[in-house]
Amino acid sequence: MPDAIPASSIPFYSQPMRPARGALWAVAALNAAATLWFLLALAGQLIFVAYIVALYGGAAVRGDLQGWNQVMSHGYVAGDRAGNLAIGAHLLLAAVIMLGGALQLMPRLRTLAPTFHRWNGRVYLMGAVVGSLSGLYMLWFRGAVGDMVQHIGTSLNALLILLCSGMVLRTALARGFAAHRRWALRLFLCVSGVWFFRIGLMFWLALNGGPAGFDPKTFTGPFLSFLAYAQYLLPLAVLELYLRCREYGNTAARFAMAAVLCALSAATAVGVAVAAMGMWLPRM
């Protein structure tokens, strides 16, 4: 038989191509930018959780439930046992799910402690559902600041939490882990809507040197109407862009997405710092 023809002598044959250095740098930049934002968000949410525990939990331990009204309108209403219980559960769950959600997104923890990941996920899902339902009750039956436009925006956030929770559970049971992780990210952002509202407002105040686009006395105005929807729609839009750039983007798209995430990280850092110094730490 004739000798085999070397593959390298066949026209149009080429060795498997290694990723270009620029492409590798783009992936590294995108991963680093996403990690930076997550770490800043984690730090900010931990401060927020500490604030909730110190202010509202501390008031409950002291037996001073009127202290709930220091910041929250209609936080405690004398004689309304069911309503007060719902608000207490909502505040407790807010602290639990914000911490639990961050733990769910840590890949190394998922790998090293899969059992904890599963049980923490169950608690997180239950807390997200109960927290969103109690939040709707507080909004429509206990009274809240803002106008109807803001209330509708916040209600849509709660409904999205319920939708994402259902999809997280459904994809987990179907063992569609790639889809499960994407829905878990969406749920994390929707659950964080109340946190995004606060740091977004503080960033806006810092940017303008004070209230702009709304009346601080009535807590109404075009900027607050915008923020009532942007608190979850904007993070979700950024997430979808990030996922598409990570999976299908070219080098330029990944570098551009990394730049966007770095800019958002800077805005997050400013919002967290102003919120912590102006709202959270003084009340802890």
Q: d(Cα 198, Cα 196) in Å, to the nearest integer?
A: 5
Phi/psi at 210 (5° precision)? 145, -175
pLDDT tier at 188 (50, 70, 90 boundaries)? Answer: very high
- For every residue of 52-106, which 3-state class applies, written as one string? HHHHHHHHHHHCCHHHHHHCCCCCCCCCCHHHHHHHHHHHHHHHHHHHHHHHHCC
Q: Are 90 and 134 in contact (CB under 8 A)?
A: yes
The pLDDT > 70 percentage for the chain reads 93
Q: What percent of the chain shows pLDDT beyond 90?
A: 60
Contact 133, 125 (CB under 8 A): no
pLDDT digits (tens, 9 = 90+) for 54-78: 888 888 888 888 878 787 777 777 7
